[in-house]
């Protein structure tokens, strides 16, 4: 196999420079990927260039200055833009410490110039660009690659070394067990470093990401087989049937709810820990599925915890579960920050003793002093409202089986689904619960307020959602504080209420009860209303909606139109960027939670697969390439078709990378928890 010192142009000094770039092998040289591609087949006019960005220009020499006798021995060349046909447009090219180039310029000759344009006080200038005569172009053609060399060596020097190494790949022949993978890798590297066009370069990078993910996915599968992920407590199948639960329900469940009941029983009866997401839009009946899981656990002699993000929702769950619990004889308790000390002490004693089958509550459940006798299952409602570490704390209390309920799975959970750790049960809406909410995007707060105030004066109720409680220095946000100050007069004559997370629990409950009763027409609030009691509100205005993820926006929209009447959700975009506006347009056009979850995955990224980020730009573990849902799907197929049967040692050797990097990935796999 070729080594670095066998490459033409690589001596001892160059080897040291390559080592500074963390390149210690030929494979690592191939793996040193360009950070930018520039299409040199299409020079641009100076008029179209953006200051500070690398660009290719074509100019005619108009004047050449003399070389300064001292200092940096600089000179400059005045060019006219060949691509600007309407008028004569000039720009300057300055060279420092390159006096040997001076005599090569002749007035009237045309050149291709690659560099970064600056515009200082109206003077367009490029400093020390790459330059070639247009009739003798050799390097400034086709696709120009830019590498992150950090000043260690020049672009041309590095490319000469790389191209000498790549020559050995072009006619290489592969055979044996690794033939397909090696051939794929060779093709990928050639197209990344020597692309015929920009599109083929990006296709090659995607394929490298697929191979990277396929290798690490295969390693992950091997590691999971080694680890012990069997259930610690076996479910007692003879104690509970679906029919027992149906007899306690005051209504007939939908076919998809019945299917979810069966999914849960099957998970409980299996030999692996339960890791499941119950996914369904608002109104689809996810809570009934959660109650079924509670009943199944209780009848098997095990404890279960249901954690909700707000006290309002925890209270609602406890109230709704009461009838079912009474009919089935299930002992449950409600534990929140508002629980009085004497009641809290009693609940903690009964949980530790095992006389309480189920606890429903908020994050109070994960407090250090909450102990369980035999916690079997944790149910997490509105999973996007909880962080990785919060969910992990529940597992630490004994809940090795976890079920999450969500209308829009967070991107990270979707990514973990491809790792085959999480099952999904999708709950479809009842036919009579079809959405009736129309969503529209507005560019100004005034426009949204005008629409909303007119609807409220017709007798409708409205939520106004603000991204923060008070103004934050340096951020142009419509907080509750600033909105109430600047716009409350627009709702003159209407009863206006305010709700946010810093209010006392009894104050929040009073406001929500008044709103639910119709005594408040307009409720100005933060996302504390994302989950909560049902109301007859039909209107919503979300300010600075670009600050929220699609999951939160979809949850907020689910607060209106719950009684079947026509409803409206108005989203205000306070961000001028095209990306932010496009994301909100996707939200306006689609009302399906699963679709929005996939869109969120594409637009925001999946987050770290083995860390704690739930969204944001994701990268493959070995090459650090961007990940999206399509790459994950292709990687799964590649792992199944090409890498099936490879051992851990063989898979590790395929990476040809630092062993420490692979070992770190394998060690972190064991820390992954459901939805983590």
- Give, as one character, the DSSP assignment of residue 366: G
Confidence grade of residue 675 (pLDDT, cut at 50, 70, 90): very low
Structure tokens at 127: 């400093």
What does pLDDT average to over the chain?
84
Q: What is the pLDDT of residue 674?
A: 42
pLDDT digits (tens, 9 = 90+) for 310-360: 888 888 899 999 999 999 999 999 998 888 999 999 999 999 999 999 999
Whether residue 533 is predicted with pLDDT greater than 90 in this model: the reply is no
Structure tokens at 290: 């959660």
Q: What does the alpha-carbon distance between residue 93 and residue 115 come to, in Å, rounded to a whole number? A: 9
pLDDT digits (tens, 9 = 90+) for 515-530: 988 999 999 998 877 6
CA angle, 273 as apex, 271 and 274 as ends, to 5°? 115
Whether residue 657 is predicted with pLDDT greater than 80 in this model: the reply is no
Q: What does the alpha-carbon distance between residue 439 and residue 452 come to, in Å, rounded to a whole number? A: 13
Report which secondary-structure segment, H or E, holds 114.
strand 110-120
Query: Which pairing describes strands 539-542 and 462-465: parallel, antiparallel, or unpaired?
Result: parallel
Q: What does the alpha-carbon distance between residue 616 and residue 409 come to, in Å, rounded to a whole number? A: 15
Which CATH number among 1.20.1250.20, 3.80.30.20, 3.40.50.300, 3.30.70.890 corresponds to the domain 436-590?
3.40.50.300
- Sheet of 332-335: strand order equals 332-335, 358-361, 303-307, 375-381, 401-406, 275-280, 423-427
pTM of the model: 0.63
Q: What does the alpha-carbon distance between residue 316 and residue 310 come to, in Å, rounded to a whole number? A: 10
| Contact (CB, 8 A) for 633 and 418 | yes
193-197, 445-449, 609-613 — most confident range: 445-449
Helix, strand, or coil here: 288? helix
Helix, strand, or coil here: 115? strand
Q: What does the alpha-carbon distance between residue 259 and residue 486 come to, in Å, rounded to a whole number? A: 51
| Contact (CB, 8 A) for 129 and 93 | yes
| Contact (CB, 8 A) for 499 and 529 | yes
Helix, strand, or coil here: 588? helix
Q: How far is CA 144 from the centre of its chain?
A: 31
Report which secondary-structure segment, H or E, holds 188.
helix 179-193
Q: Which residue has the higher pLDDT, 458 or 565?
A: 458
Q: What does the alpha-carbon distance between residue 201 and residue 100 come to, in Å, rounded to a whole number? A: 35
Whether residue 140 is predicted with pLDDT greater than 80 in this model: the reply is no
Q: What does the alpha-carbon distance between residue 576 and residue 546 come to, in Å, rounded to a whole number? A: 10
Mean pLDDT, residues 380-389 taken together: 67
Q: Which residue has the higher pLDDT, 131 or 671?
A: 131
Confidence grade of residue 53 (pLDDT, cut at 50, 70, 90): confident
Across the strands, what pairs with 361? 307, 335
Mean pLDDT, residues 549-556 taken together: 84
Residue carrying structure tokens 């930018």: 36
List the beta strands (DSSP E) in 286-344.
Answer: 303-307, 332-335
| Contact (CB, 8 A) for 129 and 38 | no
CA angle, 648 as apex, 646 and 651 as ends, to 5°? 60
Closest CA to 545 of 481, 437, 486, 464: 464
Mean pLDDT, residues 377-383 taken together: 83
Confidence grade of residue 673 (pLDDT, cut at 50, 70, 90): very low
Q: What is the pLDDT of residue 651?
A: 85
Residue carrying structure tokens 């920009």: 198
Structure tokens at 17: 């420079």
- Give, as one character, the DSSP assignment of residue 580: H
Whether residue 475 is predicted with pLDDT greater than 80 in this model: the reply is no
> Which ranges in the chain are annotated with CATH 2.40.50.140?
42-141
Q: What does the alpha-carbon distance between residue 284 and residue 265 come to, in Å, rounded to a whole number? A: 20
139: left (phi over 0), alpha (psi -120 to 50) or beta: alpha
Mean pLDDT, residues 486-498 taken together: 94
Which CATH number among 3.30.420.40, 2.30.38.10, 2.40.50.140, 1.20.81.30 corresponds to the domain 42-141?
2.40.50.140
Structure tokens at 621: 């573990």
Report which secondary-structure segment, H or E, holds 263.
helix 255-269
| Contact (CB, 8 A) for 658 and 402 | no
Q: Return the number of other C-beta atoms located less than 10 Å from residue 36's C-beta.
A: 11
pLDDT digits (tens, 9 = 90+) for 256-277: 999 999 999 888 887 778 888 8
pLDDT digits (tens, 9 = 90+) for 407-423: 766 666 666 666 666 77
Q: How far apart are the first and last CA of the chain?
A: 41
Whether residue 60 is predicted with pLDDT greater than 90 in this model: the reply is yes
Taking only Cα atoms into account, the Rg of the chain, rounded to an integer number of angstroms, comes to: 31
Whether residue 238 is predicted with pLDDT greater than 80 in this model: the reply is no
Q: What does the alpha-carbon distance between residue 232 and residue 400 come to, in Å, rounded to a whole number? A: 8
**What one-character-per-residue DSSP string does 402-413 give?**
EEEEESS--HHH
Q: What is the pLDDT of residue 615?
A: 58
Q: Return the number of other C-beta atoms located less than 10 Å from residue 466's C-beta.
A: 25
Phi, psi of 80 (to 5 degrees): -105, 145
| Contact (CB, 8 A) for 444 and 544 | no
Per-residue CA distances from 673 to 274, 393, 668 (Å): 11, 10, 11
Confidence grade of residue 451 (pLDDT, cut at 50, 70, 90): very high
Confidence grade of residue 384 (pLDDT, cut at 50, 70, 90): low
Class of domain 252-431: alpha beta
Q: What is the pLDDT of residue 327?
A: 93
Which CATH number among 1.10.150, 3.90.550, 3.30.300, 1.10.10 corresponds to the domain 1-37+142-169?
1.10.150
Q: What is the pLDDT of residue 614?
A: 61
Q: How far is CA 477 from the centre of its chain?
A: 23
Phi, psi of 69 (to 5 degrees): -75, -20
Structure tokens at 452: 């909303």
pLDDT digits (tens, 9 = 90+) for 271-315: 778 888 888 877 788 899 999 999 999 988 889 999 988 888 888
> Which ranges in the chain are annotated with CATH 3.40.50.300?
252-431, 436-590
Helices (H), 22-152: 26-30
């Amino acid at each position: 196999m070729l080594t670095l010192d066998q490459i033409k142009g690589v001596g001892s000094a160059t080897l040291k420079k390559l080592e500074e770039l963390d390149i210690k092998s030929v494979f690592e040289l191939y793996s040193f990927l360009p950070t930018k591609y520039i299409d040199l087949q299409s020079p641009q006019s100076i008029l179209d260039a953006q200051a500070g960005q690398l660009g290719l220009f074509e100019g005619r020499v108009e004047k050449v200055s003399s070389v300064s006798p001292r200092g940096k021995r600089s000179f400059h060349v005045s060019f006219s833009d060949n691509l600007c046909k309407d008028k004569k447009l000039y720009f300057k090219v300055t060279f420092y410490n390159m006096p040997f180039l001076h005599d090569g310029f002749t007035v009237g000759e045309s050149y291709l110039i690659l560099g970064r344009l600056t515009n200082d006080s109206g003077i367009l200038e490029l400093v020390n660009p790459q330059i070639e005569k247009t009739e003798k172009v050799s390097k400034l053609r086709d696709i120009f690659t830019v590498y992150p060399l950090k000043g260690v060596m020049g672009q041309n020097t590095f490319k000469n070394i790389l191209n000498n190494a790549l020559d050995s790949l072009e006619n290489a022949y592969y055979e044996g067990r690794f033939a397909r993978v090696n051939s794929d890798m060779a093709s990928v590297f050639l197209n990344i470093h020597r692309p015929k066009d920009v599109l083929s370069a990006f296709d090659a990078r995607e394929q490298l990401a697929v191979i990277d993910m396929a290798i690490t996915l295969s390693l992950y599968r091997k590691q999971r087989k080694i680890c012990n992920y069997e259930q610690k407590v076996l479910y007692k199948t003879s104690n509970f049937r679906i029919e027992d639960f149906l007899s306690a329900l005051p209504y007939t469940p939908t076919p998809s709810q019945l299917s979810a009941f069966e999914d849960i029983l099957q998970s409980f009866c299996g030999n692996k820990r339960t890791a499941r997401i119950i996914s369904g839009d608002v109104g689809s009946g996810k809570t009934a599925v959660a109650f079924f899981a509670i009943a199944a656990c209780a009848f098997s002699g095990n404890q279960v915890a249901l954690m909700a993000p707000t006290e309002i929702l925890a209270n609602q769950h406890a109230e709704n579960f009461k009838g079912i619990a009474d009919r089935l004889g299930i002992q449950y308790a409600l534990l929140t920050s508002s629980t009085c000390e004497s009641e809290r002490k009693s609940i903690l004693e009964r949980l530790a003793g095992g006389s309480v089958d189920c606890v429903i509550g908020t994050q109070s459940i994960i407090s250090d002093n909450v102990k369980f006798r035999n916690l079997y299952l944790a149910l997490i409602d509105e999973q996007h409202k909880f962080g990785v570490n919060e969910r992990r704390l529940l597992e630490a209390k004994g809940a090795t089986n976890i079920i999450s309920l969500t209308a829009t799975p967070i991107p990270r959970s979707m990514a973990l689904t491809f790792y085959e750790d999480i099952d999904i049960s999708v709950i479809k809406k009842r036919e009579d619960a079809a959405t009736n909410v129309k969503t529209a995007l507005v560019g100004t707060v005034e426009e949204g307020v005008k629409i909303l105030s007119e609807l409220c004066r017709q007798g409708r109720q409205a939520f106004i959602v603000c991204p923060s409680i008070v103004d934050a220095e340096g951020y142009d946000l419509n907080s509750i504080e600033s909105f109430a100050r600047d716009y409350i007069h627009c709702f003159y004559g209407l009863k206006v209420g305010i709700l946010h997370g810093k209010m006392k629990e009894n104050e929040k409950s009073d406001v929500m009860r008044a709103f639910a009763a119709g005594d408040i027409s307009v409720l100005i609030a933060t996302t504390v209303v994302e989950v909560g009691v049902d109301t007859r509100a039909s209107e919503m205005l979300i300010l600075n909606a670009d600050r929220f993820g699609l999951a939160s926006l979809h949850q907020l929209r689910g607060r209106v139109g719950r009684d079947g009447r026509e409803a409206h959700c108005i989203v205000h975009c306070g961000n001028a960027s095209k990306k932010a506006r496009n994301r909100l347009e996707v939200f306006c056009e689609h009302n399906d939670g699963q679709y929005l979850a996939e869109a969120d995955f594409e637009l925001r990224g999946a987050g770290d697969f083995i860390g704690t980020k739930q969204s944001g730009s994701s990268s493959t573990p070995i090459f650090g390439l961007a990940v999206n849902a399509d790459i994950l799907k292709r990687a799964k197929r590649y792992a199944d078709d090409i890498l099936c049967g490879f051992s851990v040692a063989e898979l590790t050797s395929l990476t040809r990378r630092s062993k420490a990097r692979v070992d770190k990935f394998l060690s972190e796999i064991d820390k992954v928890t459901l939805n983590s």
